[in-house]
Amino acid sequence: MAIELLNKEFTITTYYGTNTMSAMDLGYYFEFDNAKRMFGRCFYIEKKITLSKPLCSENLDKIETRITNTMLHELAHAFCVKIYGINLGSGHGANWKSIAKQIGCDGERCYDGNEVNKPKSKYMLVCETCKKETPKYKKTKRESACAICCRTHNNGKYSDKYKLKLVVNY
């Protein structure tokens, strides 16, 4: 289902005109992750869309609604960032909402407060090696590496290999 939607071409009309695109065309790939609270995530820089394996398996009965909607939600983020750029296109503003509705998503935020717990911070720095997540309340441009991994694998010296990835939570 997720892969099908990743490949699917959507026609989106915005201020800039009408575009037909699929997330696949934009270079995105799909992966399950083990997130416990975030149903889906869209990584703009790495061009990756993830769905939570534990949350999906708990909601298999709602595959046509809940899971599909989450996937569409994340696709809307990918298209929105493509069309408006990362500064104007990220988040759940009017630009995103309009795209989300055009592709068949309900246009609601990533989570439903009653069903899935809400993460506290808007951004998160994630280490891909040890999976440690550090909440960030503001977007940061400064690059940093995972201190734990640098200490464990690199004698405490900075290494690009353990660079932290900025993730937008909602």
Which of the ranges 16-24, 29-37, 111-119, 120-128 carries the binding residues for Zn ion, by CB under 5 A? 120-128
Nearer to Zn ion, 1 or 148 (CB): 148
Q: Pick from 106, 130, 140, 159 the residue near Zn ion by CB under 5 A.
A: 130
Q: Please, which residues bridge with residue 40 across strands? A: 51
Size of the site for Zn ion (CB under 5 A): 7
- Using the 8-state DSSP alphabet, how is residue 23 labeled? T
Nearest-approach distance from CB 20 to Zn ion, in angstroms = 22
What's the closest the beta carbon of residue 76 comes to Zn ion, in angstroms? 8
**Among residues 56, 105, 127, 145, which is the contact residue for Zn ion, using CB under 5 A?**
127
Three-state secondary structure call for residue 157: coil
How many CA atoms, within 13 angstroms, populate the side-chain half-sphere of residue 117? Answer: 6
Q: Tell me the closest approach of the beta carbon of residue 132 to Zn ion, in angstroms.
A: 5
Task: Report if residue 164 touches Zn ion, rule: CB under 5 A.
Answer: no
Which residue do the tokens 């720095």 mark?
A: 125
Q: Quick check: 105 and 73 in contact, CB under 8 A?
A: yes
Between strands 10-14 and 29-33, the pairing is unpaired
Query: What does the alpha-carbon distance between residue 11 and residue 14 come to, in Å, rounded to a whole number?
Result: 10
Q: How far is the CB of 153 from Zn ion (least distance, A)?
A: 9
d(CA 169, CA 41): 7
Please report, as residue ranges, which positions from 58 to 117 form the binding site for Zn ion (by CB under 5 A). Answer: 110
75 and 67 Cβ atoms separated by less than 8 Å: no
Shortest approach of Zn ion to residue 40 CB, angstroms? 7
17 or 149: whose CB is closer to Zn ion? Answer: 149
Residues that bind Zn ion in the complex, under the rule CB under 5 A: 110, 127, 129-130, 146, 148-149
